[in-house]
Amino acid sequence: MSLDKNNSQYSKIAKLFHWGFVLLFVYGVAKQVEDINQLEDNAFFRFEIIFALIFLFLLIIRLIYMKTTQKTSLPEDTPRIQKISAKIIHNGMYALLAGTALSGLSIGFLFWIELKEGILIDIIIFFHELNVNLLYWFIGIHIIAATFHRLKRDGVWSSMVPFLKEKKLK
């Protein structure tokens, strides 16, 4: 399939959301809470709560925007299993990103009401860590799939990635 057969191109806003979330996520991972006792620092605690709330708000805005204004860049002749897989990975990443922020906020709430130890906070921390680890896998699969489409030169890569643009097939 040549690029000419795939006219779907994501908007500048969609690309901004995509790459902005890459940066937000990388920042979140780089500054992550290593030990729950770091939340004893009020300034750090407030920053974490504000960051999670802003992240969640932007995620909801992104989801609404993408679902109501954008369509897939997968070519029409893409095998059904690939289309289903892409949908699972994309929706899964939204769910896992939201789950990570919500479980982090839940940890913060429990910490704030002085439930800093015990089974409840341990369970929420477990689910928070599970969300993050699953998210790493989903992001890895997403990157592998994007690379596959780059190698396939079917236009999917160039619809979202601003570098290493695909050359049109003759």
DSSP per residue, 1-34: --GGG------HHHHHHHHHHHHHHHHHHHT--S
pLDDT at 7: 46
């860590």: which residue's tokens? Answer: 129
Enter the tokens of residue 96: 């896992």
pLDDT of residue 4: 42
pLDDT of residue 8: 63
Question: Across all residues in the chain, what is the average pLDDT?
Answer: 89
pLDDT (tens digit per residue) in 75-104: 889 999 999 999 999 999 999 999 999 999
Instruction: Give the pLDDT of residue 81.
Output: 95
DSSP 153: T
CB 15 within 8 A of CB 162: yes
> What's the average model confidence in pLDDT over 18-27?
93
34-81, pLDDT tens digit by residue?
Answer: 888 889 999 999 999 999 999 999 999 999 999 999 988 898 899 999
Indicate whether 2 pLDDT > 70.
Answer: no
Amino acid code (one letter) for 104: G
How distant, in Å, are the alpha carbons of 67, 91, 136, 149 from that of 96? 17, 9, 10, 24
